[in-house]
Amino acid sequence: VTDKTLALVSAGLRQQKQLEQLLRVAVIGLRNQPQYEDYLVDEVRAQLETKQHDTGSGRFLDALTLSVMRYELASLPTPEVCEWLPDEPSELLQPLSHEAVAVFGYWPDVADIDLILMAYGGYALPASLMIGLLRSASRPRRQLALLQSDARMRWMLAQDSRWIKDIGSELLEHLDRYQQLISTSLASLNDEQCGQLRQLFLVCHEQMRRGLCRWLGRQSAVALLPWVRTVWSECRVDARNDLLSLLLDCPLSALAEKGDSEHLPWLLSILNDRSPALRQRLHQWLSVLAVQARTDHQEWPPLQQRLAQLNQQLALCLCLDDQANKGGWIKQLKQRLVSEPLPLTDVRAPEEMTEALLALGIQDPQDNQHGSKAADRLGQLLQQAGPRLWCCHMGCSEAMAVEVLLHSRYAKELAPFVLKAVLCHRSAEGLKAVIAVLGDESDMQLLVAACVQEANALAPWLVRVLVDVGAWSLLMSESLQKALLMSGVTLSETDSLAFWYGAIKYLRRGFNFERLSILALLLTLPDKQLPQLLADSGWFDEDNHETVLLLFQHIQKFKQELHLLPVHTEGEAR
Amino acid sequence: MTTISKELVESFAPDSGTLSRGRSIAKPGNYRKIGVSERAIWGVALGSSEYETRVDLQGPAFRCSCPVKKQPCKHVMGMLLLVAANPAVVVESHMPPDLLEWLQKRDASIEKKKTAPTTVSTVKDVRAQEQRAEKRAANVDQGISELHRFLEDILNIGLAESAKRTDDVWQQVRRRLMDAQAAGLAEWLEQLRQDIGSGDDWVRKSCYRIVQLHLLTAAFSGRQQLPETQQEDIKRRIGWYRARHTYVRSIKGRWLILGVRRQTTSEYERQLVWMFYPPASEFACLQHSVSVNSDVRLPGGFVSGRVADGTLHYLSDGYSLRADFERDNLMDSGQHQDWRVLQALATTDLLSAVTALQQQRVQQPFSDEWPLLVANMRLVHYQQRLALADPHGHIAILHPDFAEVHELLMAMGNQPATLLLTTENGRLFMPWGVLNNGEWTPVGVSSVAGD
C-alpha cells in the first residue's frame, strides 16, 4: 500500500465523515444546529460563495445538494481486502434424474410431501426446490430439507452468514458426516464409524436426529440393537424415546441373536428409567414381547415370569361371574351381538395400586382430572396384556373381547387403551372390532391419532388391516396418509384399486392438490386405467381433469425413483 | 421451421388461472383445423361449443369467438401452448377468410396510424399552443416555488420532526403540485414522504431524494440553457406527457432480453425489462406499468434469457435508456443466438465501468438505474457479506433489496462469470443475470413475466 493510496483513503474517509455530519444537521434541523460550515469541503464552500441566497435554509439546501452529489459522483470502487469463496465439495447423495427434477418444477404445490419422501429416499433435493423451500418454508421444515440438500447447496448456504444464522451452524457443521453415514447401512459400519454415529446422535440437532432415526428404522434389527445399547445410557430422554420407537418394531428373534437371549437382561435393566413416560413404554414393550414369546412357544424365564404376572393381574380384573350379564351395558351389547354367546365376564378396575401392578410398570397418572384412577390402571393393564390374553380370560374371540370392553361400564375410559392395545399387539381382529365400534365421526379423531402415532412401526400391517376392513374414512385422513408415507409404504396395485373405489365418496367431499399428491404417492393406480378411473370419479371438471391426470402420471414416474415399499395384502410384513 | 416457445406463450397469460386452464386444454383432441403461417396461428377450439381462435403474430393480437372478454383466453393460450409443444398438430396452411379480413383490418388500422398527419396547425393554433405552453410553464414554476419552500422548511425543522407531520401537510403540497400540472414532482414528493423515517438507510435516502428534487427543479428553472432533448427529458420527469411516437432514434434488429422484473403494489403493477443489442453494445430499459384496477395487463413476450426481433425506439437521447419496443413477430426464426457474445462485449474492469457511469450521472443525476455488463466477476466474502469482485479486487456491494443471493450462488458458484448489474449510485449493485455455460441465467424472483 503506497502513501498515495493511504492519502486517498484517508481523504475519502474524511469526506464521508463530513457528509455524515451534514446529514445529521438535516435530521435534527437547521434551526436546532445552524452551524454547519465545518462540514463543508473547500470546493463546496467556494461554490456557495458564487450564489446569493435569500434564506439560510436555501443555502443549506444548496450546500447539501453539492455535498451529496460530490460524494455520490465520486463514489468509485476501490481495491478491498476480500476473501475468495472456497472450492465446492464433492457430492455425497444420489442425484435425482432430470425427469424427477422436472416434476418438482412443474408441481410446486406438492413440494411439501415430496420433501418428506425425499427425506426418506436418500436422494439429494434439487437446488431449485431447496431455494423455494428456503424462501417459503417454516424453519423446522427448512432444517429438515437441509438434511437432504446436495453438497453444492450446502456449500452455497455456508457462504451466506444470514443463512447460517437462520439454519443453525451446528446443523451445517455435521451435515457432511451425517450424509456420509446414512449413505451406507448400519451393518457395514466399522467400529470407528459406529463411534462417529454414536457421537453424532448424541450431539446433533433435533431435526438431524429425526433423520438419523428414519435411517436407523430401515436397518436390520440385528445390527440396530447392539448399537442402541451403546448409546442408550448417554442419551437424553427425548432421544431415548426416539430409540425406543425404533426398538418396538424389533422381532422377538432379534433379541436372541446367536441363540442366546443376550439383549433381554439389558431390557430388564433399563425398565427403571428416570422418565415415567418412557418407563411405561418400556414395560409395554416387555409385555408385548412376553405375549409374543407365548405365541411363539419361546421359553425365556424373564418373559414367562412377565406373562405370569400379567395373567395374575388380569384374572382379578376380568373374572367369570354369573351375575355379570345383569349390568345395563350388557343389554345394549346383546342387541348388537347375535352370532356369538356373550361371555359371562365382569370387568373390574383395580381400586388400589398394588405392588404387583407397580412391578408391571403401571402408574397412576399425575393429572387425572378426566377419569377414575382405577379405570386408568385397568386400561394400562389391558394395554400391556393385549387381546390374546383378554380372550383367554374371557373365553371368547379377540373381537368379542374388544366389544365387551368397549361396552363395559368403563367403555369411555378404556377406549384409548383398547385401541393402543390392538395396535401394539398387532391384533387385526381386534382392530377391526375397534373400528366397528369407534368408527363413527365422533371417535374418528381418536382412531386417527392412535394410528398416526403407531404408523411408523406398524405401517405395512396397518395398511393391510385398514384396506381389508374397508376403513376408508380412516384411510382418507391426510395425517394418517402422510404418516404412512413417512414410514415408506405405498399401496400395491390391487389394494390401490380397492382403496380408490372404496374411498371415492370421501374424495368427492373436496380436494386440493396437496391431498391429491399424497394420494398419488400412496396409491399405485394402473397407468392404462388411470384416465378412466379419474373420469369415473366425477370428481373433476373438464379443466382440472387433465391437470389431475398429469399430476398422477408424474408422481407415478417419480415413485419409481424413490423405491417405496408396496404393501401387499398377501405375504408377511417384516 | 419457425417455432414459438412455451415460455414466450406463457408470458402473455393475463393471469395464472387462464394459464392453468390453457395448459389443461392444450391437447390435440381439444382443437381442430390448427393452422400456422408466418403471420398468424389459428384453429377451432372444441369447448362447450366450437370457438374460432385467432392470433396475429405481429403485434401480437388475440381473438376468440368465446364469450370471455379478457384476451388471450384459455382457448388461445391452449392453442399456442399446443403449437409450441407439438408443431406436428398443424394441419392447415391457408388462412380462413375471416382471419384474412381481420388481419387486413388490423393492417389498415396500423397503416392509418402511421400515415396519419400530425396535427395540422394553423397560425392561430400555434399561437394558442404557445400560450398554453407558457401558461403551463408558469404554473409549474409556481408549483416549483412552493415545493422549494417546502423542502427548505423540511431542512429547517429537520427530517426527524418532518416524519411526525400529518399526511394532510404532505397531501396539501402534493395537491398544489398536481394543480400546477407537475404530477411527476408530486410522485417524487410522495416517495420522499415514504422514505423519511422508514428503513435502515432512511437518512441517506431521504436526503438524496431531496437533493434530486432540488436538482430537477433547478434544471427546469434553467432549462433554456440545456439542449432540447435534455429539456424534454426534464419536462417528462416533471409531469409532461410524452407525445406518442416521438422517438429520438430507433434500432431494428435482434435484441437480447437480459432481465425482467415485476413489482406489484396495492395501486399498480410495474414491469422493468433490460434489453441489449450486441452489434452496437446498446442497452435499453422498457418500463411498463398498469393500474391494478384496470383491465389492461402488462405486456407479455418478455422472457429473460430469450431474444426478440423487432425495433427499439429510444425515448430520449443519451440522458436516459428508456425505450419502447415493437416486436416483429412472435415466431422464433430458429436462428441460433450465441450468448457468449456478451462475454466479449463486457468490461473486465469494474472501476472503469463505474467511472464511465459516474460521468453519465454528471449529465443526468436523477434516479435512474444504469446497466453494467461486467466479465470475470466472482462472488467473494466482504465485510461478512457476499459481494462481487472483479479480478483487481474492486468490490461491487449487492443492493440490500436483492434477496436472491442463493440464486446467484447457484448460477456462479466460485467461478468467474459475466453479469448484468444495475446501479443507481455506483456503490450498490443489483444483479439481473449471469452468463453460465453459454446460457443466460436470470437471477431474481420474477424473471419470467406473465404467470
Chain A residues touching residue B211 (CB < 8 angstroms) = 64-65, 68-69
B104-124 per-position pLDDT tens digit: 999 888 888 777 655 555 556
Contact A75 B425 (CB under 8 A): yes
Contact between residue B224 and residue B268 where contact means Cβ atoms under 8 Å apart: no
pLDDT exceeds cutoff 80 at B3? no
The C-alpha atoms of residue B193 and residue B164 are separated, in whole angstroms, by: 11
Pick B355's closest partner by Cβ from A76, A81, A87. Answer: A76
Q: Give the residue from B409, B410, B415 with the most A CB atoms within 10 Å of its CB, the best one to mutate.
A: B409
Q: Which of residues 419-448 of B touch A (CB under 8 A)?
A: 425-427
Contact A79 B203 (CB under 8 A): no
Pick B156's closest partner by Cβ from A30, A62, A88. Answer: A30
Query: C-alpha grid cell for residue A426?
Result: 398387532
| Long-range CB contacts for residues B138-143, cutoff 8 Å, separation at least 24 | B139/B179, B139/B180, B139/B181, B139/B182, B140/B180, B140/B181, B140/B182, B140/B220, B140/B238, B140/B239, B141/B220, B141/B221, B142/B180, B143/B176, B143/B177, B143/B179, B143/B180, B143/B181, B143/B182, B143/B185
Which one, of B140, B354, B131, B119, lies nearest residue B231 by Cα?
B140
pLDDT (mean) for B212-235: 87
Q: Beta strand B61-64 with B50-56: parallel, antiparallel or unpaired?
A: antiparallel
DSSP code of A175?
A: H
Contact A83 B151 (CB under 8 A): no
pLDDT at B450: 38
Q: Give the chain B residue whose CA is nearest to the CA of A67.
A: B211
Q: Kindly report the nearest CA distance between residue A200 and chain B, in angstroms.
A: 28
Query: C-alpha grid cell for residue A552?
Result: 398422477
Q: Which residues contact A272 (CB under 8 A, 6 or more apart)?
A: A279
Q: Which residues contact B236 (CB under 8 A, 6 or more apart)?
A: B184, B242, B315, B316
Contact A65 B215 (CB under 8 A): yes
Pick B382's closest partner by Cβ from A57, A82, A131. Answer: A82
Q: Which residues contact B54 (CB under 8 A, 6 or more apart)?
A: B40, B41, B42, B62, B63, B64, B98, B99, B102
B192 interface with A at CB cutoff 8 Å? no
A252-271 per-position pLDDT tens digit: 777 765 555 578 888 888 99
Q: Which of residues 113-152 of B touch A (CB under 8 A)?
A: 148, 151-152
User: Mean pLDDT in chain B?
Assistant: 86
Q: Is the pTM of this model over 0.80?
A: no
B433: helix, coil or strand? strand
pLDDT at A1: 41
Percentage of the residues of chain A whose pLDDT score is greater than 70: 79
Chain A residues touching residue B392 (CB < 8 angstroms) = 79
Burial of A407 (0-12, 13-18, 19+ CB in 10 A): buried
DSSP code of B241?
A: P
pLDDT exceeds cutoff 90 at A383? yes
Burial of A90 (0-12, 13-18, 19+ CB in 10 A): exposed
Q: Give the residue from A28, A80, A534, A548 with the most B CB atoms within 10 Å of its CB, the best one to mutate.
A: A80
pLDDT (mean) for A63-81: 85
pLDDT exceeds cutoff 70 at A13? no
Query: C-alpha grid cell for residue B404?
Result: 436472491
Contact B380 A85 (CB under 8 A): yes
Chains A and B form CB pairs within 8 A to the count of 161
pLDDT at B367: 67
Distances (CA, A) of A96 to A92, A118, A121, A469, B236: 13, 10, 10, 37, 53
Chain A residues touching residue B156 (CB < 8 angstroms) = 29-31, 56-57
Contact B394 A87 (CB under 8 A): no
Query: C-alpha grid cell for residue B111?
Result: 397503416
Q: Which residues contact B361 (CB under 8 A, 6 or more apart)?
A: A72, A73, B370, B426
Chain A residues touching residue B157 (CB < 8 angstroms) = 29, 31
Contact between residue A110 and residue A513 where contact means Cβ atoms under 8 Å apart: yes
Sequence-ordered strand ranges (E) for A442-572? 489-491, 565-567
pLDDT (mean) for A455-469: 82
Q: Give the residue from B211, B216, B390, B399 with the most A CB atoms within 10 Å of its CB, the best one to mutate.
A: B211
DSSP letters spanning B2-34: -B--HHHHHTT-SSHHHHHHHHHH-SGGGEEEE
Chain B residues touching residue A546 (CB < 8 angstroms) = 23-25, 27
Q: Which of residues 14-53 of B touch A (CB under 8 A)?
A: 20-21, 23-25, 27
Contact between residue B215 and residue B366 where contact means Cβ atoms under 8 Å apart: yes
Report H helices in A351-477: 355-359, 373-394, 398-406, 411-424, 428-438, 441-469, 472-475
Contact between residue B449 and residue B298 where contact means Cβ atoms under 8 Å apart: yes
Contact between residue A162 and residue A187 where contact means Cβ atoms under 8 Å apart: no
Q: How confident is the model at residue B451 (pLDDT cuts 50, 70, 90)?
A: very low
Q: Kindly report the nearest CA distance between residue B120 and chain A, in angstroms.
A: 44
pLDDT exceeds cutoff 60 at A75? yes
Report H helices in A320-410: 328-336, 355-359, 373-394, 398-406
Report H helices in B201-254: 202-221, 228-238
Q: Give the chain A residue whose CA is nearest to the CA of B444.
A: A131
Q: Which residues contact A334 (CB under 8 A, 6 or more apart)?
A: A342
pLDDT at A447: 87
pLDDT at A571: 33
Contact between residue A447 and residue A475 where contact means Cβ atoms under 8 Å apart: no
User: Mean pLDDT in chain A?
Assistant: 80
Residue A75: half-sphere exposure toward Cβ, Cα within 13 Å: 19
Contact A27 B159 (CB under 8 A): yes
pLDDT exceeds cutoff 60 at A74? yes
> What is the layout of strands, in order, in the sheet containing B31-36?
B31-36, B40-46, B50-56, B61-64
Q: How confident is the model at residue A573 (pLDDT cuts 50, 70, 90)?
A: very low
ipTM: 0.77
Q: Beta strand A345-347 with A565-567: parallel, antiparallel or unpaired?
A: unpaired
Chain B residues touching residue A78 (CB < 8 angstroms) = 394-395
For residues B115 and A417, the model is more confident at: A417
pLDDT at B18: 87
Chain B residues touching residue A161 (CB < 8 angstroms) = 384-385
Pick B394's closest partner by Cβ from A55, A79, A84. Answer: A79
pLDDT exceeds cutoff 60 at B95? yes
Q: Which of residues 212-231 of A touch B (CB under 8 A)?
A: none
Chain B residues touching residue A69 (CB < 8 angstroms) = 211, 215, 365
The C-alpha atoms of residue B449 and residue B262 are separated, in whole angstroms, by: 7
For residue B416, whether the previous peptide bond is cis, meaning omega lies within 30 degrees of 0, is no
The C-alpha atoms of residue A419 and residue A435 are separated, in whole angstroms, by: 9
The C-alpha atoms of residue B47 and residue B30 are separated, in whole angstroms, by: 7
Pick A26's closest partner by Cβ from B155, B393, B405. Answer: B155
Q: Which of residues 335-374 of B touch A (CB under 8 A)?
A: 350-351, 354-355, 358, 361-362, 365
Query: C-alpha grid cell for residue A525?
Result: 393406480
pLDDT at B449: 37
CA angle (B354 as vertex; B350, B357 as ends), nearest 5: 145
The C-alpha atoms of residue A463 and residue A567 are separated, in whole angstroms, by: 7
pLDDT exceeds cutoff 80 at B341? yes
Q: How confident is the model at residue A101 (pLDDT cuts 50, 70, 90)?
A: low
**Phi and psi of B362, rounded to 5°?**
-60, -40
For residues A112 and A319, the model is more confident at: A319
Q: Which of residues 407-466 of A touch B (CB under 8 A)?
A: none
pLDDT exceeds cutoff 90 at A422? yes
Least confident of A7-11, A194-198, B192-196: A7-11
Q: How confident is the model at residue B377 (pLDDT cuts 50, 70, 90)?
A: very high
Contact between residue B176 and residue B145 where contact means Cβ atoms under 8 Å apart: no
A326-338 per-position pLDDT tens digit: 554 555 555 555 5
pLDDT exceeds cutoff 90 at B164? no
The C-alpha atoms of residue A303 and residue A527 are separated, in whole angstroms, by: 50
Query: C-alpha grid cell for residue B207?
Result: 436526503
Chain B residues touching residue A28 (CB < 8 angstroms) = 158, 160
DSSP letters spanning B368-422: --EEEEEEEEEEEEETTEEEEE-TT-BEEEEPTT---HHHHHHHHTTS-EEEEEE
pLDDT at A8: 55
Pick A83's closest partner by Cβ from B24, B207, B381. Answer: B381
Q: How confident is the model at residue B252 (pLDDT cuts 50, 70, 90)?
A: very high
B156 interface with A at CB cutoff 8 Å? yes
pLDDT at A564: 59
Q: Give the chain A residue whose CA is nearest to the CA of B387.
A: A82
pLDDT at B116: 65
The C-alpha atoms of residue B44 and residue A11 are separated, in whole angstroms, by: 73
Contact between residue B4 and residue B18 where contact means Cβ atoms under 8 Å apart: no
Q: Give the chain B residue whose CA is nearest to the CA of A20.
A: B204
B120-141 per-position pLDDT tens digit: 555 567 788 888 888 888 899 9
Chain B residues touching residue A157 (CB < 8 angstroms) = 406
A57 interface with B at CB cutoff 8 Å? yes
The C-alpha atoms of residue A107 and residue A102 are separated, in whole angstroms, by: 9
A544-559 per-position pLDDT tens digit: 676 677 777 777 766 7
Least confident of A134-148, B72-86, B430-444: A134-148
